[in-house]
């Protein structure tokens, strides 16, 4: 949510006004996205906004993998969840960074990491956070399986498309 939108939401006095502001911010996000929005869910209680986009097409050098879903979840205090996919070099599945930022392995300093090598993850389980432009973007697994590697150290900078965690997917 933009700073202007958040300020307007904080100042909104009626439930209807809050709904209108949330809707306007959601429409702004949809129109700014480079890919087609496939799902939108809005809730006013605790201000939840959840959106999904198709993965934008990129001119690949290798064979193209199926498009991955990108899910965005926003709440007033905890911002965005994003999932992305890239082709791994081995038989594991790579969960990659969808943006440039700083990778954090745990939800807060001193807390246990989201995942360790050997942990089992399901689709939607958090594997880390990428902080970008002062927003904490939770990264979740888009496959079920066992974590075989965490490729980025806590608080390291990451680039778009960089592998964060590798998962040996069920059945592979």
What does the DSSP assignment read for 67-82?
Answer: PPEEEEEE-SSS-EEE
Q: What per-residue confidence (pLDDT) applies to 148?
A: 96
Asked whether 86 and 94 are in contact (CB, 8 A), the reply is yes
Residue 51 β-bridge partners: 40, 72
The neighbour count for residue 90, using CB atoms within 10 Å, is: 10
Token pair in block for residue 111: 């807390």
Here the contacts of 32-41 (C-beta below 8 Å, separation 24 or greater) are 35/70, 38/69
The neighbour count for residue 83, using CB atoms within 10 Å, is: 23
Tens digit of each residue's pLDDT, the chain (172 residues): 556 655 555 655 676 777 777 777 776 666 666 667 667 666 666 666 666 666 655 444 444 444 444 444 444 444 343 333 334 446 899 999 999 999 999 999 999 999 999 999 999 999 999 999 889 999 999 999 999 999 999 999 999 999 999 999 988 6
* Strand duo 80-82 + 135-140: pairing: parallel
* pTM confidence score: 0.49
Q: What per-residue confidence (pLDDT) applies to 53?
A: 65
Burial of 79 (0-12, 13-18, 19+ CB in 10 A): buried
Q: What per-residue confidence (pLDDT) applies to 93?
A: 94
Q: Which residues contact 118 (CB under 8 A, 6 or more apart)?
A: 146, 147
Token pair in block for residue 27: 């429409």
Residue 128 β-bridge partners: 139
Domains of the chain: 1-56+65-77 (no CATH), 79-172 (2.40.50.100)
């Amino acid at each position: 949510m933009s700073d202007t939108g958040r300020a307007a939401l904080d100042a909104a006095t009626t439930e209807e006004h809050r709904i209108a502001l949330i809707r306007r911010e959601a429409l702004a996000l949809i129109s700014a996205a480079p890919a087609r929005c496939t799902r939108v869910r809005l809730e006013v209680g605790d201000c939840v906004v959840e959106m999904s986009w198709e993965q934008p097409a990129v001119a690949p050098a290798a064979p193209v993998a199926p498009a991955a879903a990108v899910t965005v979840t926003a709440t007033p205090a905890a911002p965005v969840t994003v999932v992305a996919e890239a082709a791994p070099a081995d038989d594991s599945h790579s969960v990659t960074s969808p943006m440039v930022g700083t990778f954090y392995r745990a939800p807060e300093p001193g807390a246990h990491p989201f995942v360790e090598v050997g942990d089992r993850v399901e689709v939607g389980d958090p594997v880390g956070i990428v902080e970008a432009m002062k927003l904490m973007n939770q990264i979740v697994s888009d496959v079920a399986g066992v974590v075989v590697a965490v490729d980025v150290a806590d608080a390291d900078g990451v680039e778009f498309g960089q592998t964060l965690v590798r998962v040996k997917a069920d059945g592979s």
